[in-house]
Amino acid sequence: MARAVPLRRKLIFTGLAWGCGFVIFFPILWTILTSFKTEGEAVAIPPTFLFFDWTLENYGVVQERSDYLKFASNSVILALGSTLIGLLIAVPAAWAMAFAPGRRTKDLLMWMLSTKMMPPVGALIPLYLIFRDLKLLDSHIGIIMVLMLLNLPIIIWMLYTYFREIPGEILEASRMDGASIGKELIYVLAPMAVPGIASTVLLNIILAWNEAFWTLTLTTRNAAPLTQFIASYSSPEGLFWAKLSAASTMAIAPILVLGWFAQKQLVRGLTFGAVK
Amino acid sequence: MATQQTRSIGRIAVAPSVLALFLWMIVPLAMTVWFSFLRYNLLDPNPACSLMTPGALLDAANRCMAGAANYYYFLTDPAFFKAMRNSLLLVFWVLVISVAGGTLLALLLDQAIYGRNAVRLMVIAPFFVMPTVSALVWKNMMMHPVQGFLAWITKSLGLGAIDWFAHYPMTAIVIMVSWQWMPFATLIILTALQSFDEEQKEAAQMDGAPPLSFFWYMIVPHLARPVTVVILIETIFLLNIFAEIYVTGSGGRAGNLPFLVYHYGLLSNDIGGASAGGVIAVILANIAAFFLMRMIGKNLEA
C-alpha cells in the first residue's frame, strides 16, 4: 500500500529540493549562459540573466584562437584509447577471476585495488624522467598507457562484480554440450556480459576525460587534452570570461551527458561494489 | 567446478593485468625511493658526483648519494608544514561539508517530491565537471572580487565584496572542492537509502515509531556503511587534489603536499627532494588506504 503523503509536506519538500538543486547547479548554468554573452555583457554588474543579446561568436573565437578541436580530439583519443586497451586486458582477467576463482583470487583483487591507493605524486618524478628519456612526454601512447593503468583496477573490479552476477550454471550447461572455452566466451558469456562491459566503458571514459594530474604534468601541446586546453585560460588576456565559458561548456558538455546516463554505474564502480 | 584446464587458462588470462599493475606500482615507487636518497638536481651537475652512482639512467653527473639529507631538508622546510596543514585541512573540511551536506540532500531527495529525477540530475552534475573547468569558473566567474557573481550577491546584501583567492585561498579551495565532491556523497547515500527495505519502513510506521527514533534506530545504522565508504574513498582522492590548486595559482598559500612535490621536482628541478616528498605522501596515503582495504575486503566475503 502506498503511503499517503500530505500535499503540503510534499510541496514544501519539493520547493526545498529544487532550491538546493538550483544552487548547486548554478555555477554550471551560469557558465553556459555566459558563453552566449558578449565579453562586455559577461562582466556586467548587475549581471544579466536571460535578456541579453545571445551570440555564438565566442564558440567561433575559441576554436580559431586556441584550436579547440585539436584538444577535443586528443581527449577523445586518450579516453577511448585507454578504455579499449584497458578492456582488452581486463576482460579476460575479470572473466577468469569470476568463473574460475582460485584460493588467491580475493587477495589478488585486493592487491589490484591497493595500486589505486598509490598517490600520483609518489610516481610523478620517475615517470616524468622515464617519459623524458624515452621521448614519451606529450605523446599519445604514453598518456594512454598511464590513463589505462590508472583505471585498470576499477575496470577489473567493475567487470568482476558484473560477471559474478552471471549464473555459472549456464556456462556449465554449455560446457556439457561440448562448447569450447572460446565458443563459451563468444556465444554464451559475451551477450550476457555486454551490459556490464558497456557500463564499465562509460565510467572509464568519464574518469579518463576528467583526469587532470597526469594530463597536466605530462602533456604540453601535441597530445594535450581538454584539461590542458582549459588550464591555458588561467592566464587571462583582457576580457575573456565569455570565451572561457564557451571553452568550458564545450569541455564539459559531452561528459555531463554521459555522466547523467552513468549515475548507477558510477556508484558501483567508484565504491568497488561496496554500494550497489 | 573448475577443471585443471580452465585453471591454467585462468592464470594466463589474469597474467597481463597482474604484470601491468605490478610494473606500474613497483617501478616508479622503487625509483622514487631510490632517488630520495640521492643528491639529484636536473640543472646542477655536481663534479663530486662523477663517481658513477649505481643504477644511473641518464644525468649520471647530476647525482650522488645524499643519505637522508633530502628527508631532512624536506621535513624541516617550513613549506612542508604548511603543505601538510593545508592537505589535512582540505581533506577534513571537504569531508565534513560533503558528508553532512550529502546526507541531508540525500534524505531530502528520498522524500516524495515532484521532479525528483530532474533535481537529482542538477545535484550530481558538478561531479562530472572537469577539475580545471571548475577551478577557472569558480575563480573568475563566481569568486572574482569585482565582477564575480558572489561579489554581486554580497554587495547587494550590503556586506561588501570578498576577494576570496587573495584573502582566503584555503576557504575558496575548500568551497570549490566540496562543490565537486558533495554530489558524490549524495549519490552514494541516496543509492543506499533507496535500497532500504520498504516493508521495514512500513512495519515501523504501523508500529507507530516516531519519525525521530525511526531515523535514529533504522536509518542511521543503515547509512553507517555507505558513509564510511564515502569518507574513505573521498580521503584517497582529496589527498591527491592538484589541478584545482595549480590552475587557480593558489599553490603559494593553499598548496598541499602533491603541489609541494610538484614544485620541488618540476619547478625547482630538485629530484631528490621531490622524491623524498613523494615517499612521505605514499606513507600518508597508505595509512588511509589500510582502513579502506579492510572495509572493502570484509564486504567481498559477504
User: Is B167 within 8 Å of chain A by CB?
Assistant: no
Q: For position B96, what pLDDT does the model report?
A: 95
- Asked if the structure places residue B122 within a domain, the reply is yes
User: Is B115 within 8 Å of chain A by CB?
Assistant: yes
- Classify residue A118 by its DSSP letter: S
Q: For position A166, what pLDDT does the model report?
A: 81
Q: Which residues of chain A have a CB within 8 Å of the CB of B114? A: 10, 14
CA distances from A84 to A87, A194, B93, B195 (A): 5, 14, 37, 33
Buried b (16+ CB within 10 A) or exposed e, A46-73: ebeeeebeeeeebbebbbeeeebeebbe
pLDDT band at B65 (very low <50, low <70, confident <90, very high): confident
Q: For position B102, what pLDDT does the model report?
A: 94
Grouping H, G, I as helix, E, B as strand and the rest as coil, residue B2 is coil
Task: Using CB atoms, pick whichever of A113, A116, A230 lies closest to residue B136.
Answer: A230
Say whether pLDDT at B51 is over 70. Answer: no
| CA separation for the pair B179, B185 (Å, rounded) | 11
Q: For position B299, what pLDDT does the model report?
A: 59
The answer to whether A152 contacts B2, with C-beta atoms less than 8 Å apart, is no
Neighbours of A194 (CB within 10 A): 11
| CA separation for the pair A247, B161 (Å, rounded) | 27
* Contact by Cβ (8 Å): B40, B59: yes
The answer to whether B131 contacts A210, with C-beta atoms less than 8 Å apart, is yes
Indicate the number of domains in chain B: 1
- Asked if the structure places residue B257 within a domain, the reply is yes
Mean pLDDT calculated for residue range B10-14: 84
Segments in chain A below pLDDT 70: 1-4, 236-239, 273-274, 276
**CA B175 to chain CA mean position, Å:** 14
Which stretches within A2-104 are classed as H helix?
A: 7-34, 39-42, 57-66, 68-99
Please give the residue range of the domain that contains residue B153: 81-301
Task: Using CB atoms, pick whichever of A119, A149, A231 lies closest to residue B258.
Answer: A119
DSSP H or E segment with residue B193:
helix B169-194
The residue of chain A nearest to residue B108, with distances taken between CA atoms, is A17
ipTM confidence: 0.84
Task: Using CB atoms, pick whichever of B5, B125, B262 lies closest to residue A25.
Answer: B125
- Tell me the DSSP string of B132-182: HHHHHIIIIIIT-TTT-HHHHHHHHTTS----HHHH-HHHHHHHHHHHHHH
End-to-end Cα, chain B, rounded Å: 21
Q: For position B50, what pLDDT does the model report?
A: 46
The answer to whether B262 contacts A97, with C-beta atoms less than 8 Å apart, is no
Q: Over chain B, what is the mean pLDDT? A: 83
Q: For position B42, what pLDDT does the model report?
A: 72
Say whether pLDDT at B57 is over 70. Answer: no
- Asked if the structure places residue B61 within a domain, the reply is no
Task: Using CB atoms, pick whichever of B132, B265, B300 lies closest to residue A227.
Answer: B132
User: Is B147 within 8 Å of chain A by CB?
Assistant: yes
* Contact by Cβ (8 Å): B261, B282: no
- Asked if the structure places residue B134 within a domain, the reply is yes
Q: What is the pTM of this model?
A: 0.85
pLDDT band at B302 (very low <50, low <70, confident <90, very high): very low
Q: For position A88, what pLDDT does the model report?
A: 92
Neighbours of A190 (CB within 10 A): 12
- CB-neighbour burial class of residue B152 (10 A; exposed 0-12, middle 13-18, buried 19+): middle
| CA separation for the pair A195, A201 (Å, rounded) | 10
- Asked if the structure places residue B266 within a domain, the reply is yes
The answer to whether B122 contacts A22, with C-beta atoms less than 8 Å apart, is yes
The answer to whether B109 contacts A121, with C-beta atoms less than 8 Å apart, is no
Q: For position B55, what pLDDT does the model report?
A: 45
Measure A192 CA to nearest chain B CA, in Å: 19
pLDDT band at B61 (very low <50, low <70, confident <90, very high): low
* Four-way CATH pick for A67-270: 2.170.130.30, 1.10.760.10, 3.30.70.3000, 1.10.3720.10: 1.10.3720.10
In chain B, pLDDT over 70 holds for what percent of residues?
A: 89
Q: Which residues of chain A have a CB within 8 Å of the CB of B187? A: 263, 266-267
- Tell me the DSSP string of A236-273: --SS-HHHHHHHHHHHHHHHHHHHHHTHHHHHHHHTTT
Q: Which residues of chain A have a CB within 8 Å of the CB of B112? A: 3, 5, 10, 13
**CA B207 to chain CA mean position, Å:** 43
Could you tell me which residue, A157 or B60, shows the higher pLDDT?
A157
Grouping H, G, I as helix, E, B as strand and the rest as coil, residue A179 is coil
| CA separation for the pair B249, B245 (Å, rounded) | 6
Q: What is the pLDDT of residues B22-43, one digit of tens each?
A: 998 888 888 888 888 887 777 7
Could you tell me which residue, A129 or B126, shows the higher pLDDT?
B126
Q: For position A241, what pLDDT does the model report?
A: 84
| CA separation for the pair B229, A231 (Å, rounded) | 31
The residue of chain B nearest to residue A206, with distances taken between CA atoms, is B128
Interface test with chain A among B7, B17, B114, B299, by most A beta carbons within 10 Å = B17
Task: Using CB atoms, pick whichever of A47, A130, A251 lies closest to residue B130.
Answer: A251
Which domain CATH number covers B119? 1.10.3720.10
Say whether pLDDT at B125 is over 60. Answer: yes
The domain limits of chain A are 7-57, 67-270
* Contact by Cβ (8 Å): A192, A164: no
Q: For position B46, what pLDDT does the model report?
A: 60
- Asked if the structure places residue B246 within a domain, the reply is yes
| CA separation for the pair B136, B249 (Å, rounded) | 10
* Contact by Cβ (8 Å): A133, B57: yes
